[in-house]
Amino acid sequence: MTHEAKRAARISRKTAETDVQVALDLDGTGRAQVSTGVGFFDHMLELFARHALFDLDVAVTGDLHVDHHHTVEDAGIALGQAFAQALADKRGIGRYADIHLPMDETLTRVSIDISGRPFLVFRTHFRVEKIGQFDTELVREWFQAFAMNAGITLHVETLYGENAHHIAESCFKGLARALRHAVSIDPREGGRVPSTKGSL
């Protein structure tokens, strides 16, 4: 596989609770245009795109009069689906990646396997329930939705940290940096699927 093959996807997902539009290019420059109606979440997706070097457009109209849950979760579902579609048969990729991401007093470890076997281990705890108006429990909800729909095995563990904003940001940045490496084309693979099974 070469970069001549476009690794990009568009997903539209509409329910009674949300209307989500996602466009993703894995071989981008980190450009992001995000509008979900949830300021902190927009910030997380923008820095996710920047550090993954993905081009990302996300537009969500959600039932924010209820809470932020459906908007955040459904954005994770759609982005995960776009990721899986953009990778197609996964030929030539590195597949695995692992990173320790520092954010001031916080350190988070993120390990991934683009395996086709979705699984999430999320060992990150917040001492507060909200970052501004954003429910901190929704960080895990987004990671769960993304991992299940992207078809990746994802382990996230914050080894230590105090500030909730820093903890959340280290998780999103850590995932971005790990994905950046895992989706990179390894020329030594010669376009093969990185598995002894021959498929992922």
pLDDT band at 2 (very low <50, low <70, confident <90, very high): very low
Structural domains in the chain?
8-189 (3.30.230.40)
Q: What is the pLDDT of residue 199?
A: 81
Tens of pLDDT, residues 46-60: 999 999 999 999 999
How many other CB atoms are found less than 10 A from the CB of residue 136?
A: 19
Higher model confidence: residue 136 or residue 192?
A: 136
Confidence of residue 67 (pLDDT cuts 50, 70, 90): very high
Euclidean distance between CA atoms 79 and 136, whole angstroms: 20
Q: Are 9 and 82 in contact (CB under 8 A)?
A: yes
pLDDT digits (tens, 9 = 90+) for 75-117: 999 999 999 999 999 999 999 999 999 999 999 999 999 999 9
